[in-house]
Amino acid sequence: MSKRRKSRETAPKTKVRDIFVARPFEGLADEPEWVALRELVPAASAPLTLKPEIIEEYGDRPVTLSTVLPMAWPAMTRRDGRIFIGLQRHVQSGDVSRDLAVAILAALHTEPGDTVAVPALPGEGLRLQDVLADGPLEITMHDGFEYWLDADQIQDASVKASLERANASIYPTVRLAAARAAYWCRVAADKSHIRWVLAEPEDQALDALARLSAAGELLLGDGTKFAGMFRAHGLLVPVWDVPGEPEGADFEAPLAAFAKRYADTLGVSEPLDAAGRRAKQGLIGRQLTLR
């Protein structure tokens, strides 16, 4: 039996499920950043490292995670052999991790410069957790999507038009150092947002936010407002409205102070009191779900 056939038969598998996989990035070291790059960040990239057994079977080529790709492609291969995987794309299987893994494997099977054919419903098989040598993402923020392509590829009319549309959609975004998976973005001339993907399980994070809300400690300083929160891939993402004029770096200290209050509150094990329960219901009433 060949190594290729043996590895395919013995590799960990997952079945396409009828239900939505609530936390497709669970188990990855940087789960909150995966969620942030999929839902919050317009233009960023990060190199990915393949597991040795994947390299042995499929070959060793540089793989880069990109928030989006031209014309919303799931994957592409450059003529220099580099592979790009698009994170912000529509998926249908119910498991984002499986869809991204099959895009990586399909790209590894594709000759450099050729179009990558990725099935909409990939069936059972490997997930990101099976394919990647896990570790923190080394994220690079971009002002435009020129990093996608070689210079001569930009001359293609359809690709050039897609690149121009994608660049026009980028809003100013800054990755904050005060907390993991926290981002400042300018949404209007007079208003910006801070969005933070919390790493803790939803119930634990929600209780901590409720305690802070009941204590009046949910804001990031004068002129800020807690706008609400949403659920994305099983994690909570609180959102603050902040004044539009300051830049992202100006909110490092307020966010760091809030992150400390949040971490301290996570250590409280007593049940919520009446004020905390009311605050929790208020937060739930302002909660949305992003899939």
Residue 22 has pLDDT above 60, yes or no: yes
Give the model's pLDDT for residue 3.
40
Q: How high is the mean pLDDT of the chain?
A: 88
- Among residues 174, 285, 171, the alpha carbon closest in space to that of 230 is found at 285
Q: Report the distance separating Cα 82 and Cα 112, nearest Å.
A: 7
Give the model's pLDDT for residue 209.
97
What residues does each domain of the chain span?
A: 3-168, 174-290
- Yes or no: say if 166 and 228 are a contact pair by the CB < 8 Å rule: no
Nearest 10 degrees: Cα torsion 117, 6, 23, 140: -60
Residue 1 has pLDDT above 50, yes or no: no
- Yes or no: say if 215 and 196 are a contact pair by the CB < 8 Å rule: no
- Among residues 135, 139, 221, the alpha carbon closest in space to that of 181 is found at 139
Q: Report the distance separating Cα 226 and Cα 241, nearest Å.
A: 6
Q: Report the distance separating Cα 36 and Cα 180, nearest Å.
A: 10
Q: Report the distance separating Cα 74 and Cα 100, nearest Å.
A: 8
Collapsed DSSP state (helix, strand, coil) of residue 280: helix
Comparing 5-19, 41-55, 144-158, 211-225, the range with the smallest average pLDDT is 5-19
Strand partners, 44: 141
Collapsed DSSP state (helix, strand, coil) of residue 83: strand
Comparing 3-12, 73-82, 222-231, the range with the smallest average pLDDT is 3-12
Residue 2 has pLDDT above 50, yes or no: no
Backbone angles phi, psi at 173, to 5 degrees: -140, 135
Angle at the Cα of 70 from the Cα atoms of 54 and 89, rounded to 5 degrees:
65
Residue 9 has pLDDT above 80, yes or no: no
Which residue in this structure is represented by tokens 């014309």? 71
**Confidence band for 109, pLDDT divided at 50, 70 and 90:** very high
Give the model's pLDDT for residue 92.
72
